[in-house]
């Protein structure tokens, strides 16, 4: 995969630059493959991997059409924002942004912290899913 790397089972790190429309379509194809597994997962996104507008357009359109599936299979996304001021700004904006997101969103200062948060989010979602089955 060019745009996602599995860090551990069901935890993926977004990788690769998203600059062109073709990149956006490649990202959506890979994300479709992850969703096709039918398993809960957590995604970690680093601050430097924000898509440029040409890549972002197909990604946004794809997310709108997959909102229910994303809500069902993505336990959460953790954004790594190393800059303290920017991280604080994002944390303050999180409640408003959470309303638009089909899955929980968290913020971390480092990839290591993001991995820990992703594990907690995923474990919680799996426990909830198991309880719902009982």
| CATH fold group of domain 4-133 | Transcription Regulator spoIIAA (3.30.750)
39-85 confidence digits (pLDDT tens): 999 999 997 778 999 999 999 999 999 999 999 999 999 999 999 99
Task: Specify the pLDDT at position 16.
Answer: 85
pLDDT of residue 71: 95
3-class DSSP state of 8: strand
The overall average pLDDT reported for the chain is: 93
* pLDDT tens digits, one per residue of 98-128: 778 899 999 999 999 999 999 999 999 999 9
R_g of the chain, CA atoms, integer Å: 14
Domain ranges of the chain: 4-133
Quote the CA–CA distance of 95 and 54 in Å, as a whole number. 27
In a 3-state reduction of DSSP, which class is residue 46? strand
Residue 55 pairs in a beta bridge with none
């Amino acid at each position: 995969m060019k745009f996602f790397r599995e860090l551990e089972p069901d935890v993926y790190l977004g990788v690769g630059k998203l600059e062109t429309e073709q990149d956006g379509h490649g990202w959506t194809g890979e994300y479709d493959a992850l969703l096709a597994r039918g398993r809960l997962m957590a995604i970690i996104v680093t601050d430097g991997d924000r898509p440029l507008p040409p890549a972002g357009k197909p990604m946004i359109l794809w997310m709108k059409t997959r909102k229910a599936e994303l809500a069902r299979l993505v336990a959460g996304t953790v954004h790594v924002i190393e800059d303290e001021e920017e991280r604080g700004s994002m944390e303050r904006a999180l409640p408003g942004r959470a309303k638009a997101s089909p899955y929980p969103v968290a913020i971390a200062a480092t990839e290591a912290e993001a991995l820990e948060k992703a594990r907690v989010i995923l474990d919680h979602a799996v426990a909830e899913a198991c309880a719902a089955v009982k």
